[in-house]
Amino acid sequence: MASWRDNIRQVEPYVPGEQPKNTNVIKLNTNENPYGPSPRVKAVQDNEDLLRLYPDPTAGALVDALAEYHGVDASQVFVGVGSDDVLAMSFLTFFNSDKPILFPDITYSFYDVWAELFRIPYKQMPLDENFRLKIDDYKGENGGIVFPNPNAPTGIYESLDHVEEIIKNNPDVIVIVDEAYIDFGGETALPLIDKYDNLVVVRTFSKSRSMAGLRIGYAISNPELIKALNDVKYSYNSYTMNRPSLVLGVESIHDDAYFREKVGQIIATRERFVKEIAELGFTCLPSSANFVFATHESIPAKEIFAAAKENNIYVRYFDKPRIDNYLRISIGTDAEMDAFVSFLTKCVKEERETKIGRIMGSNLRSRTTIAST
């Protein structure tokens, strides 16, 4: 006899980074901004109408603010509940071919989850030995392309020339460039929007604008593709954006000086941190994000991850091929990174002392064996 369980869609869900309940931790595992949002955001967040009134279903004020900020028309902007929501809706809207979509084998874990959820065929294209895109892999027949730039968890940025080459060679499918971390390094693909009508650029407020808790993401593309996204959104929920997100998002955009100041601080801290841990035997991939992807010359990443957690320091570890000896470390405040460097210094010292002890013990046993003969 058939069971109702036979009709349930089975998926293996994406597992987000851990959110510890204990607040007395150094949290460097989910790439949140270590600094608060703009003072303009704080100044209006107590307005009781933020919660009392329904939000504008068109998100008009936020759409207009983003359009003005990026120098595009409002018809070219779509907003959603974080970039995850915008990307998932883009998968549902744009990837409807029988041909497989393409994305890197080392990237966000939710790309393949969405493909499975929406029953979209896909291929994961291997990054090269330096964790970079192999441009020629994206020139074959496909049903669409999506990739982050900078990539995650590597933090590596692909040049705008490489990005354009991928778009130019795929005129018959939609190409989505996921720019969650672009504010921390590199050139955005937004100038290519008017040149290529198949390009969609997705951005977020969660990283550089310190608003991960509100969930604001957006896409910029040509008006036809934006209309298609809105048609899908309005087909199942006309109020996807809450009112606080819309109002506070606008205030964040209007404080560009604060935004640039905090992004600059994070970049400076990142560069200093990379130099300091290099002296401890760590190697970091070149990062253009608000995190680094680091490996140690002798201490397994899994051991550092476990030891850090025992000391209330949270970083991200991926038990996956090719990256299972790396840690993704979000950039915190200077004080947080100093504390983490102190912890790593202690780890390296203990490892070296243990290694010296093993060598000395081995030498002693060898001398004892020689003497006895």
- Distance between CA 188 and CA 111 in Å, rounded? 21
Q: Which residue ranges make up each domain of the chain?
A: 40-254, 257-372
Comparing CA positions, the residue from 291, 293, 279 lying closest to residue 344 is 279
| pTM recorded for the entire structure | 0.92
Question: 257-372 belongs to which homologous superfamily?
Answer: Aspartate Aminotransferase, domain 1 (3.90.1150.10)
pLDDT digits (tens, 9 = 90+) for 235-276: 987 777 889 999 999 999 999 999 999 999 999 999 999 999
3-state secondary structure of 350: helix
Comparing CA positions, the residue from 210, 132, 139, 209 lying closest to residue 172 is 139
Comparing CA positions, the residue from 225, 237, 194 lying closest to residue 80 is 237
Which CATH number is associated with domain 40-254?
3.40.640.10
**Number of neighbours of residue 354 by Cβ within 10 angstroms:** 10
Identify residue 370 by its one-letter amino acid code: I
- Give the pLDDT confidence score for residue 369 in this predicted structure: 54
- Give the pLDDT confidence score for residue 353 in this predicted structure: 85
- Give the pLDDT confidence score for residue 360 in this predicted structure: 46
pLDDT digits (tens, 9 = 90+) for 57-78: 899 999 999 999 999 999 999 9
The pair of structure tokens assigned to 14 is 């994406």
- Residue 327: φ, ψ to 5°: -120, 135
Which of the residues in the chain have pLDDT under 50? 360, 364
